[in-house]
Amino acid sequence: MRNRTIIWSLACLLFVACQPPVVNPPVPEDDGMHHDSLTVNYELFCNPERGFHIFKEFHSPNPERMYAGGVKNIYNMGYSLVLNNYYLEDYRDTLIADSYLEVVRNNMQALREGGCKCILRFAYTSSENQQPREAPVELVLQHIEQIKPILQEYADVIFAMEAGFVGVWGEWYYTTYFKYQPSKDEDFADRRRVLDALLEALPKERMICVRTPEFKMRCFGWTKDDTLTMAEAYNGSPKARIAAHDDAFMADESDMGTFKGTYQRTYWESETRYTIYGGESCRPGKYANAENSIAQMAAMHISYLNISYHKSVINGWQNEGRLDEIKRRIGYRLYASDVATTKEPKAGENLRVVVTIENEGFSSPKNPRDIQMPLVSKSDPKQVLTVVPDCDPRFWMPEQRNLIDVTFQPQKAGQYDLYLYLPDPQPTLANNPCYAIRLANENCWDDQTGYNHLTTITVN
């Protein structure tokens, strides 16, 4: 494990506001405030909604049941995400049985109690030789309607949903009832119906990942020039919610046809600043070395990747000495580099606090996230002042500095501990530290509360 100390400076990095488009200027070195530099922690640890994920399949008619204890074991192994792939082999010509839906609901509850979230996918077969490869489109839409209540009830533990339902593995390629290798606009119409149904079934705070950039563009009539802007990001529209999963990550120059031309790669590089990108590696090849892979992870702002596949690719990253770096950086990795506070603050007067947050990950947090700053009296821990900054951590991008600028007014003299708390906004998860973001700083994290300790302030 390596440590380094970040010293406050006016380095040539971008400062951005917590909530665009307002811009907060950097605090200069001679601003008359007291500055505490914090030490970065390079330890591997679990954080919600990011990182390598465990993979599980649930085949009908007897799908596996998950249990909270097993999910907790996954979390303790260092994984906050599980890809739950539900195969509906028995339901290609009939409605989904209540018994199968109950297993899906059971597994969601186990995730909630165990501390993890899922990447969710439904498909009808995992075999290229099995026909039909999915249900007819009208039945698919009925199946989506059947699972809608579960999606609504358990959206808190869904990190993202992969579009699924169409083709072998739900990857939208080898298909029976949907147009194979679509080319004309009308060929994408039935896929668009599936996406529309999923967008309606899943709460607007969650994204749906499609297999290629072409599917996002052609299903909705968008071009390479219609990329998502900061102003449009996270507004609940289809453009803001249709995300990406690349299940041939670094397989070859085009990721096995994922990208049909450089413009599609550029399109996803832009889209994934504000939408989720994940997937799994594929067969090993000359493109899958660690240097190339890390470059694509950064360009595509990757948030999740399958730890189980392809093992030879992941072992290659290990042999090159880069796997721990990749584990740290998939998704976000936030740390506080500086805490500036009013010098010699006095009781009853304003105490200004400016915290600099930086991100060494490949991406920003991609789902809604609460943010609070508690100021806790050391002599009486029940005496707490909490400020809610006007910040959205989803805009805390890699390679830029982000300022949280708040003011307290403590009424009593004494010592106070200052914390940053980034809990899940869903009431079902809000008080569970497993779902709160941990900063990558030394001597910072309280695993009982989910609080990140920033500094201690003496009020006169």
Instruction: Tell me where in the chain the CATH 3.20.20 domain(s) lie.
Output: 51-329
Dump pLDDT digits (tens) for 198-251: 999 999 999 999 999 999 999 999 999 999 999 999 999 999 999 999 999 999
- Provide the token pair at 219: 């299903």
Per-residue pLDDT at 283: 82
| Nearest-angstrom CA–CA distance, 272 and 243 | 7
Query: Which of 207, 227, 98 is CA-nearest to residue 162?
Result: 207
Measured over all CA atoms, what is the biggest interatomic distance in the chain, rounded to whole angstroms?
76
Dump pLDDT digits (tens) for 83-118: 999 999 999 999 999 999 999 999 999 999 999 999
What are phi and psi for residue 428, nearest 5 degrees?
-70, -20
Strand positions, DSSP E, 206-333: 208-210, 242-249, 277-281, 304-306
Sign, CA dihedral 212-214-219-223, equals: positive
State which residues of the chain have pLDDT below 50.
Answer: 1-25
DSSP-assigned letters across all residues of 244-267:
EEEEEETSSTTTTTT-SSHHHHHH
Specify the CATH number of the domain 51-329.
Answer: 3.20.20
CB 268 within 8 A of CB 244: yes
| Nearest-angstrom CA–CA distance, 357 and 370 | 15
